[in-house]
């Protein structure tokens, strides 16, 4: 009997499989994901079934890695892994551009450091909680649409750039306390058409502010008069947690009597003890929380095995 591709609607066709493989390679390639996270087994199965190496050429073409292979005069099939390894894991590079593809097909490109901690800060790379929060925002644009948003500890800027491009806030304040992070933020926002008036691609009023949770007065906070406050991966150290909770308490106090600001904190739970300490400090400061995290549409490539929790905070009566 002849094989009839696509006759069973529940089994993805060979063509669909190929499209999926290319997409997975493309998004991991542009996000400079670790090589082990590439779908090698799926690729091997495709090669075995199709008995052709076309898929390799297509992968190389979409990543521009074929140029390197061609110039080296090598066989693409043998050189795929090496070419990707060279591009993705160049040894002595300290920073590089990562591109995160959005559902519409456009991308957010950010200059990020390779080391997770460098120049005395954790803010020069994008963390998983930022990617989860951005995915949550894409699923809940109404939380941000037409509203004034303040982001705490913005780091490289991923969450905010996605919110500004896809959720239509009226204004968005990126903030951080570290000088290198603030400069990197300005550069990354310019690259993504958010800062320079001439090349601006959204109507959102965007600014970058130096904001340290340890020395923020209620007066300055009132001047911001924000409606939504968000932060990703800011609960990672017991000392930071203390000042953060004091600061969050001020934010909630400032919005008493007005429409309360919606405060959303997204955390990777690396150390359950530190995270439990955060929740105790919230409760001691009269701040309640409800858990908002749940399944989101997967848009970005990152390790989904770590526990990530998004909580909304409110002032208890």
**Binding interface with ligand SAM (CB under 6 A):** 121-123, 126-127, 129-130, 153-156, 158, 176-178, 181, 211-214, 232-234, 236, 240, 243
Q: Which is nearer to ligand SAM, 56 or 156 (CB)?
A: 156
Q: How far is the CB of 150 from ligand SAM (least distance, A)?
A: 12
Rounded-to-integer distance, Cα 195 and Cα 296, Å: 29
Q: How far is the CB of 210 from ligand SAM (least distance, A)?
A: 9
Q: Which is nearer to ligand SAM, 79 or 135 (CB)?
A: 135
Q: How far is the CB of 309 from ligand SAM (least distance, A)?
A: 14
* DSSP category for residue 192: T
Q: How far is the CB of 153 from ligand SAM (least distance, A)?
A: 3
- Rounded to the nearest 5°, which phi and psi values hold at 97? -90, 135
Q: Which is nearer to ligand SAM, 25 or 174 (CB)?
A: 174
Q: Which is nearer to ligand SAM, 84 or 110 (CB)?
A: 110
Q: Which is nearer to ligand SAM, 205 or 210 (CB)?
A: 210
Q: How far is the CB of 106 from ligand SAM (least distance, A)?
A: 20
Q: How far is the CB of 102 from ligand SAM (least distance, A)?
A: 17
Strands 308-315 and 287-291, by their bridges, are antiparallel
Q: Which is nearer to ligand SAM, 5 or 117 (CB)?
A: 117
- Count the Cβ atoms, other than its own, within 10 Å of residue 70: 12
Q: How far is the CB of 157 from ligand SAM (least distance, A)?
A: 8
Q: How far is the CB of 125 from ligand SAM (least distance, A)?
A: 7
Q: Which is nearer to ligand SAM, 62 or 99 (CB)?
A: 99
Tell me, letter by letter, the H, E, C secondary structure of the chain: CCCCCCCCCCCCCHHHHHHHHHHHHHHHHHCCCCHHHCCHHHHHHHHHHHCCCHHHHHHHHHCCHHHHHHHHCCCHHHHHHHHHHHHHCCCCCCEEEEEEECCCCCEEEEEEECCCCECCECCCCCCHHHHHHHHHHHHCHHHCCCCEEEEECCCCCHHHHHHHHHCCCCEEEEEECCHHHHHHHHHHHHHCCCCCCCCCCCCCEEEEEECCHHHCCHHHHHHHCCCEEEEECCCCCHHHHHHHHHHHHHHHHHCCCCCCCEEEEEEECCCHHHHHHHHHHHHHCCEEEEECCCCCCCCCCCCCCCCEEEEEEEECC
Q: How far is the CB of 166 from ligand SAM (least distance, A)?
A: 17
Q: Which is nearer to ligand SAM, 130 or 194 (CB)?
A: 130
Give, for 276, the enclosing helix (H) or strand (E): helix 272-284
Q: Which is nearer to ligand SAM, 52 or 214 (CB)?
A: 214
């Amino acid at each position: 009997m002849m094989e009839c591709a696509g006759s069973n609607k529940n089994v993805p066709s060979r063509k669909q499989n190929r499209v999926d493989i290319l997409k997975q390679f493309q998004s991991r390639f542009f996000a400079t994901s670790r090589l082990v996270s590439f779908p090698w087994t799926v690729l091997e199965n495709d090669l075995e079934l199709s008995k052709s190496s076309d898929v390799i050429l297509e992968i190389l073409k979409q990543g521009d890695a074929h140029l390197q292979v061609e110039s080296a005069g090598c066989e693409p099939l043998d050189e795929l892994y090496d070419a990707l390894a060279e591009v993705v894991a160049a040894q002595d590079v300290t920073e590089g551009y990562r591109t995160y593809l959005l559902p519409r097909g456009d991308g957010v490109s950010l200059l990020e450091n390779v080391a997770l901690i460098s120049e005395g800060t954790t803010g020069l790379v994008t963390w998983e909680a930022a990617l989860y929060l951005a995915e949550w925002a894409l699923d809940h644009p109404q939380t941000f649409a037409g509203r004034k948003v303040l982001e705490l500890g913005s780091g490289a800027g991923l969450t905010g750039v996605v919110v500004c491009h896809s959720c239509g806030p009226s204004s968005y304040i990126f903030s951080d306390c570290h000088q290198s992070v603030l400069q990197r933020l300005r550069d990354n926002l310019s690259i993504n058409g958010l800062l320079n008036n001439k090349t601006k691609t959204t109507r959102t009023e965007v600014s970058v502010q130096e904001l340290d949770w340890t020395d923020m007065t209620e007066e300055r906070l009132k001047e911001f008069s924000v409606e939504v406050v968000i932060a990703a991966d800011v609960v990672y150290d017991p000392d930071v947690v203390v000042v953060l909770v004091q600061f969050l308490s001020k934010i909630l106090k400032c919005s008493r009597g007005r429409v309360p600001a919606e405060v959303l904190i997204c955390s990777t739970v690396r150390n359950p003890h530190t995270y439990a300490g955060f929740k105790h400090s919230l409760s001691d400061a009269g701040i309640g929380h409800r858990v908002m995290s749940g399944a989101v549409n997967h848009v970005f490539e990152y390790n989904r095995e770590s526990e990530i929790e998004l909580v909304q905070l409110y002032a208890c009566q």
